[in-house]
Amino acid sequence: MDAEVTTSVSPLDTVTVDLADRSYDILVGHGALDQLGARLSPMLKQPRVFVLTDETVERIHRHRLDEALASTGVTTLWKSLLPGEKTKSFSNLEGILDWLLEASADRGDVLIALGGGVIGDITGLAASLMKRGMKFVQVPTTLLAQVDSSVGGKTAVNTPRGKNMIGAFYQPQLVIADTALLETLPARELRAGYAEIVKYGLINDPDFFAWLETNGEAVLALDAKAITHAVATSCRAKAAIVAEDEHETGARALLNLGHTFGHALEAANGYAPDLLHGEAVAIGMALAFRFGASQGLTPQADADRVTAHLKATGLQSAIPGRQGGPYTAARLVELMQQDKKASGGRVPLILARGIGQSYIHKDADLSLVAAFLRHELLET
């Protein structure tokens, strides 16, 4: 079934992340970037902002951000990095901080992250470290960043020992999720972001998952109403969990559904671009449901339904055949043991008693996970 793209513009939706005196808004919808100047002006001590982006995003979207600030008289100071997951490194973090220091940035300045999850993560970490904390604003340009990484204050860089191992919780002042910025994304990037949208339905909203089964193609076609609803619903779901558990001591861990498997896949592949984060998460969610089914914890019908929906939207749901690798059960389990919350040969996994019924399985036995992965990888 082909989805038609509507040309009408949906009104903006505002989602608030309720964190008392650190609360902030997420503006969602077509043209949301037009609100940046009005929202930014009260934050500024002097008429300038620092903008961190990557070379691809700067080429495509710099004029959009400049236009949004044109009437404010604000000067923009830009720094661009190479695109890709490998940009989240210590060396780049040091370079960003040196750029800010050289320009005499202080805690009264604002640093804007214009880009996807990589730029958002490293920008947030740099902002948290700069003179013990400068303000920053997220302007995510990918679907994945709009529905996940730009919201909630997780910031990080990667190390050879794992993804996001060095980081901090540091909240932005504002998130602008302008769905018009998604129109330049390749279809593959949209699908990768869509995986994170599916995640929210699988965590605790079976009605949203059912809506996605019917409307997923319209979301991926950037139908105005469908994409705004999907992004706003996802942000609202994440905002509620973050407000309950900002520092991931409890319920926030549910947002890691698919990520323990997914991060291991990414690390095993050296964070190469032939396996995007969202693609790894899609595989990881399918694995989590199938592992649960193999242990009698998840209804097989629900595991099959998840796999079927991922396949229907063009996402991978299994490791064999996926680009990158090679992947072995032993290597994946070794990487899972490096999970930030692993201990004593056991790792907390986010599993599900059904669609919309995810829970924290605190002490998954990695020997059982290894046997499951050997079966998935056709090693046995």
Catalytic residue, chosen from 163, 199, 263, 290, is 263
Annotated active-site residue 238? The verdict is: yes
Catalytic residue among 61, 163, 229, 259: 259
Phi, psi of 200, rounded to the nearest 5 degrees = -65, -35
| Among 252, 290, 322, 361, the one annotated catalytic | 252
Q: Is 263 a catalytic residue?
A: yes
Exposure string for 297-306, b = 16+ CB within 10 A, e = fewer: ebbeebbebb
61, 238, 305, 309: which one is catalytic? 238
- Count Cβ atoms below 10 Å from residue 217 Cβ, excluding itself: 17
Query: Which position among 58, 196, 279, 376 bears the catalytic label?
Result: 196
277 is catalytic: yes
Active site residue 196: yes
Is 247 a catalytic site residue?
no
SS3 annotation, the chain: CCCCCCCCCCCCEEEEECCHHHCEEEEEECCHHHHHHHHHHHHCCCCEEEEEEEHHHHHHHHHHHHHHHHHHCCEEEEEEECCCHHHCCHHHHHHHHHHHHHCCCCCCCEEEEEECHHHHHHHHHHHHHHHHCCEEEEEECCHHHHHHHCCCCEEEEEECCEEEEEEEECCCCEEEEEHHHHHHCCHHHHHHHHHHHHHHHHHHCHHHHHHHHHHHHHHHCCCHHHHHHHHHHHHHHHHHHHHHCCCCCCHHHHHHCCHHHHHHHHHHCCCCCCCCHHHHHHHHHHHHHHHHHHCCCCCHHHHHHHHHHHHHCCCCCCCCCCCCCCCCHHHHHHHHCCCCCCECCEEEEEEECCCCCEEEEEEEEHHHHHHHHHHHCCCC
Please pick, among 189, 248, 266, 279, the residue that the annotation labels catalytic: 248
269 in catalytic set: no
Mark whether 92 is an active-site residue: no
Nearest to 304 by CA among 294, 289, 314: 289
One of 135, 277, 305, 309 is an active-site residue; which one? 277
- Of 135, 154, 163, 305, the catalytic one is 154
- Bridge partners (DSSP) of residue 350 are 360
Active-site residue (options: 92, 158, 215, 256): 256
Catalytic site residues?
A: 132, 154, 196, 238, 248, 252, 256, 259, 263, 277
